[in-house]
Structure 1
């Protein structure tokens, strides 16, 4: 198996990122349309994104937005799930958001999904369930003080 490469995402990665996002089994977009400019905004103006490549192909990505304090996206191609890619991408997003001083890091995900299990496994804390959507909101545990 080829080695995985993690790096900061570039604007020219957006088509691959959109393809991954638009072809997931869980957490599929139902009512929202996220376009190219939304990705540009999220990863260059509001925050930063990372990709995971295997043999030059983007197989996963994650994006955190400093301005909103949220993890905007975490998605892995189905054929590459279960290999630790999502966790490795989350580690980069979490570390960066803590480093740039985000006080409260949060995200939402559909209930009873692999994503929900990943966040719980990584120590994220459930902050509630959104009444309108049924999505679970999580917050990242604050780093321990000195």
Structure 2
């Protein structure tokens, strides 16, 4: 298993994992390869957990411009093995290193992802649901404990 930076060569596997999830689903085609590549190469950075060459367990992408978690997904059969936490921690650390004091994300209410983020120290912003029906969360640098 290898935790490494994502590249455009990972595109097919990123989409495979993204469309495999059963919560926080995405309609195929709503986000283009070009938009994905912009987040990987221009707006931020992504990471993958690679089980073997060409086979990903999951991925995370953070936006360096504003500290937004753009995506974080683990292949459902591999939930609970620590891949998500590895991805989360490397992404959060990198975003804080970019100078952000606050990170944000949105996720489906009452989902496994919401529970995961709460355990990792994220707190609801209190803004209610956004236009996509997601609950908004924030993580403040001063409150983050990567060893929690």
| TM-score after normalising by structure 2 | 0.89
**1:125–1:141 contact (8 Å) kept in structure 2:** no
Match of residue 9 from structure 2: 12
Number of equivalent positions: 141
Q: Unpaired runs of 5+ in structure 1? A: none
**2:68–2:103 contact (8 Å) kept in structure 1:** yes
Alpha-carbon deviations, 1:80-119, whole Å to 9, x = none? 1111111110001100000111232100000011100010
Correspondence 1:139 to 2:135: no
**1:48–1:65 contact (8 Å) kept in structure 2:** yes
Match of residue 50 from structure 1: 47
Following superposition, the deviation at residue 30 of structure 1 comes to 4.6
- d(CA) in 2 for partners of 1:107, 1:39: 17
**1:51–1:61 contact (8 Å) kept in structure 2:** yes
Correspondence 1:94 to 2:92: yes
| TM-score after normalising by structure 1 | 0.90
Residue of 37, 51, 58 corresponding to 1:60: 58
User: Which segment drifts farther, 123-132 or 95-104?
Assistant: 123-132
RMSD: 1.6
- d(CA) in 2 for partners of 1:90, 1:25: 19
- d(CA) in 1 for partners of 2:42, 2:8: 12
**1:106–1:138 contact (8 Å) kept in structure 2:** yes
Structure 1 moving runs of 4+ over 3 Å: 131-134
